[in-house]
A and B are shown apart, each in its own frame.
Chain A
Amino acid sequence: MGRYILKRIGYMFLTLFIITTLTFFLMHSIPGDPLAHMAKKLPEQIRLNYYEKYGLDKPVIVQYGKFLKNVITKGDLGESLRYPGRSVTETILKNAKVSGRLGIQAIVIGVTIGIVLGIIAALNRNRWPDYLVMFIAILGVTVPVFIIAALLQYLFTVRFELLPTTGWGKFKHTILPTIAMCFGSIATYARYMRSNVLEVINQDYILTAQAKGVSPFNVVRKHVLRNAILPAITILGPQIAGVFTGSFVIERIFGIPGLGFYYVSSISDRDYTMIIGTTIFYATLFVFSQLVVDILYGVVDPRIRVSKSGK
């Protein structure tokens, strides 16, 4: 097991290296540069000075070498080109904390409710609870998140003055964005769990359990659940990664100082250091969550438990 994890971590670094390299050359191949939006107004000399300061006058491959050296030796991602003086690493970490808080709340609530609803739907197949859950799920998948968000804001801040519209800092600020965000997870997991449970219920071993005299409740709890949740773990991976990167739309609507904003703005600003920084951040989380999911898989499913050293 230890060796397996080490090997996986090795691959993780390889993957990250490839992603970083690709992104670096891709972003430099987009026309324009960090000064493009104001280039016409700037005197030529200032522009050249700026390029020189950030090394943008050198060939891309040299910039890449310098960037790699900084990252590997100092762990330094540099400072933002758009907001001079702000360190990329610090900006990411500070904002990811905000996004993370919101994301974790949303995913925990969303996954829990989704799984429960999915099970209820499956066990009441083709009866009203099933139709109700599937109706909610289809709404959750098809209605865009900004509509749900706006609706929530209208309901809870305009009609019933219970919660603040926007802002950040207290728990009450997180309630509406969490609800808006978890709608998607509820929908995804409810649909996924429903089909998994329906599949597992028809397996022979469920019949065996019933033939043993296991009560209907325990059949579900002991035999159906574990086997049905297994496949759902697979789709958990990318979602965990998404937790810390935040949601651009939600953060905009609720005025939350999260990380989502930087993903979009850094690209339109050609803020090279920020683009690379956010990319590395997301890629690391993504690859790492895949590893976690794989290990988790082994815990839940003995069939793919990574071998007890070949025995």
Chain B
Amino acid sequence: MKKILEVKDLHVSFHTYAGEVKAVRGISFDLNKGETLALVGESGCGKTVTAKAIMRLLKEPPAEIKKGSQILFNGENVVEMKKKRLSTFRGEDVSMIFQDPMTSLNPTMTVGKQIMESLEIHKKMNKKEAEAEAIRLLEIVNIPNAAERVKAYPHELSGGMRQRVMIAIALSCNPKILIADEPTTALDVTIQAQIIDLLGELKEKFDTSIILVTHDLGVVANFADKIQVMYAGQVVERGTKKDIFYNSRHPYTWALLSSVPRLNTESKEELYSLGGTPPDLILPLKGCPFSSRCEHCMEICLEERPEELSLTETHSLSCWLQHPSAPKVERPEALRGEIHE
């Protein structure tokens, strides 16, 4: 498989009045052609910042992509791209859909115009061609009455439809990578499923790779090939869908999985929730970032950051529990059943 995107040692900081917030602290990962990679983690763990950094959409300043960080798109370093290259890179090579379809479309422009805009920029289409293409795209994302809807303003469409329009915009120029930043969070559950199905279908059709940013493991389970669990700006565990759901080894991944509601839970049973708060990203992190909330925290966890350790070719994690002299800790009871599907 061909590597289409390589992120190497990405560091992103925000300069605020309170100090330098180190939001992303050395993340590396690869994305292959046609693959779906999920970035999972709670709010503030740096997953959206990572996604925006890939497109260079962070406002600099206050944001800063640290020296030495590399984001290689087909070997070309995005961090060093000039303005001109960036505007072809965005939309043509990589495009993005956002969390809230209610606010991510320009309220004073028809949806047709908003789709046509990128066609006119990247494919150099004239108005007529672009409009015909916009209608075709709306049909592809299953919007009924597309010929009429191109003239609609965003406020005339429902949330689900607006997200479909966003998808149409993002895919209009056949990008190699589609970054979906919590694409279903603002939608209700039935629409969520539709949008996820649509994304899956279009991924095949347009032959794109997808980076899915989400905190919803339910979405991930259906959709992703590879999963990266992020915590405090670092990747704590990564692996295939199977590795993470059925054989995860990191206590934080366990906590995430345990807090997903299940159909077979007793109604009186309280849903698991992880206590405490993530560490303050302004302060320097000593030891494992998760140590303050970890049930299995040991002395070493407070002192030294665990190195990333590969269990198999696909599955790796950073946790001191994997050290030969660490006590044996089993996966939590509740998660164990899932090994047999």
Taking Cβ atoms with an 8 Å cutoff, the residues of A that contact B are 203-205, 207-216, 222-223, 226-227, 230, 300-303
Is A303 within 8 A of B57, CB to CB?
A: no
B260 contacts partner chain A, Cβ-Cβ < 8 Å:
no
- Looking at the complex, which one of A214, A215, A216, A227 makes contact with B107 (CB distance below 8 Å)? A227
B57:A300 contact, CB within 8 angstroms: no
Known A302-B153, A303-B153, A303-B155; contact A212-B91, beta-carbon cutoff 8 A: yes
Interface centre among A204, A213, A230, A303 (most CB of B within 10 A): A213
Does A208 lie within 8 Å of B55, measured CB to CB?
no
Complexed CA–CA distance, A65 and B264 (Å): 83
Tell me the smallest distance from the CB of B54 to a CB of chain A, in Å: 11
B194 touches A (CB below 8 Å): no
Return A4 CB to nearest CB of chain B, in Å. 19
Q: Mark B88-103, 1 if CB is under 8 A from A, else 0.
A: 1111100110101001
- Is B145's beta carbon under 8 Å from chain A? no
* Residues of the A chain whose Cβ atoms lie less than 8 Å from the Cβ of B169: 208, 212
Q: Which residues of B contact A209 (CB under 8 A)?
A: 106, 117
Q: Complex: how many Å from CA A196 to CA B341?
A: 54
How distant is A204 from chain B, measured CB to nearest CB, in Å? Answer: 4
CB pair B104 A213 closer than 8 Å: no
Question: 1/0 per position for B164-177, CB-CB distance to A under 8 A?
Answer: 00100110000000
Cα–Cα distance between A23 and B96 once the two chains are bound (Å): 60
Known: A205-B107, A212-B121, A301-B108. 14 other contacts (CB 8 A): A204-B98, A208-B98, A209-B117, A211-B95, A212-B91, A212-B117, A212-B169, A213-B91, A213-B92, A214-B117, A227-B106, A302-B110, A302-B153, A303-B153
A122 to chain B, nearest CB (A): 14
- Which residues of A have CB within 8 Å of B130? none
Do A214 and B104 touch (CB < 8 A)? Answer: no
User: Which residue from chain B places its CB closest to the CB of A224 in the assembled complex?
Assistant: B106
Instruction: Say yes or no: is B77 at the interface (Cβ < 8 Å to chain A).
Output: no
> How long is the Cα–Cα vector from A1 to B92 in the complex, in angstroms?
42
Does B161 make an interface contact (CB < 8 A)? no
A205 nearest CB neighbor, chain B only: B106
The minimal Cβ–Cβ distance linking B99 to chain A, given in whole angstroms, is 8
B57 to A207, Cβ gap below 8 A? yes
A302 partner residues in chain B, CB cutoff 8 A? 107-108, 110, 153, 155
State whether the Cβ of B184 lies closer than 8 Å to any Cβ in chain A.
no
Q: A212-B95, A212-B117, A212-B121 are in contact. Are A207 and B90 (CB under 8 A)?
A: no
What residues make up the interface of B, taking CB atoms closer than 8 Å to A? 55, 57, 83, 86-92, 95-96, 98, 100, 103-110, 114, 117-118, 121-122, 153, 155, 166, 169-170
State the Cβ distance, A162 to closest chain B Cβ, in Å.
Answer: 44
State the main secondary structure of chain A at its contact with B.
helix
Question: B104 touching A205 by the CB < 8 A rule?
Answer: yes
Chain B residue with minimal CB distance to A304? B155
Verify A213–B118 contact, CB threshold 8 A.
yes
CA distance A207 to B181 in the complex (A): 12
Kindly state the separation between the CA atoms of A226 and B153 in the bound complex, as whole angstroms: 14
Residues of chain B with a CB closer than 8 A to A204's CB: 98, 100, 103-104
Chain A positions within 8 Å of B122 at CB level: 213
Q: A204-B103, A205-B103 are in contact. Are A213 and B87 (CB under 8 A)?
A: yes
Residues of the A chain whose Cβ atoms lie less than 8 Å from the Cβ of B108: 226-227, 230, 300-303
Q: Which residues of A contact B107 (CB under 8 A)?
A: 205, 227, 301-303
Q: List 9 A-B contacts (CB under 8 A).
A: A205-B106, A208-B114, A209-B106, A211-B55, A211-B57, A213-B90, A213-B91, A223-B109, A302-B108
- Across-interface contacts of A212 in B (CB, < 8 A): 90-91, 95, 117-118, 121, 169
Contact B89 A213 (CB under 8 A): yes
Residues of B within 8 A of A216 (CB): 83
CB pair B91 A208 closer than 8 Å? no
Chain B residues within an 8 Å CB radius of A230: 108
CA distance A226 to B108 in the complex (A): 7
Return chain B residues, CB-CB under 8 Å to A205.
Answer: 103-107
Which residues does chain A contribute within 8 Å of B155, judged by CB atoms?
Answer: 302-303
In the assembled complex, which residues on chain A have CB atoms less than 8 Å from the CB atom of B89? 213
Q: Given the complex, which residues of A lie within 8 Å of B95, measured CB to CB?
A: 211-212
User: Which residues of chain B are near A210, meaning CB under 8 Å?
Assistant: 57, 90
Best-surrounded residue of B103, B104, B110 (most CB of chain A within 10 A) = B104
A223 contacts which chain B residues (CB < 8 A)? Answer: 106, 109
Residue on A nearest B91 in the bound complex, by CB:
A213
Closest to B156 in A: A302
Say whether B121 contacts A208, CB under 8 Å: no
A300 contact set on B, CB distance < 8 A: 108
CA distance A5 to B86 in the complex (A): 48
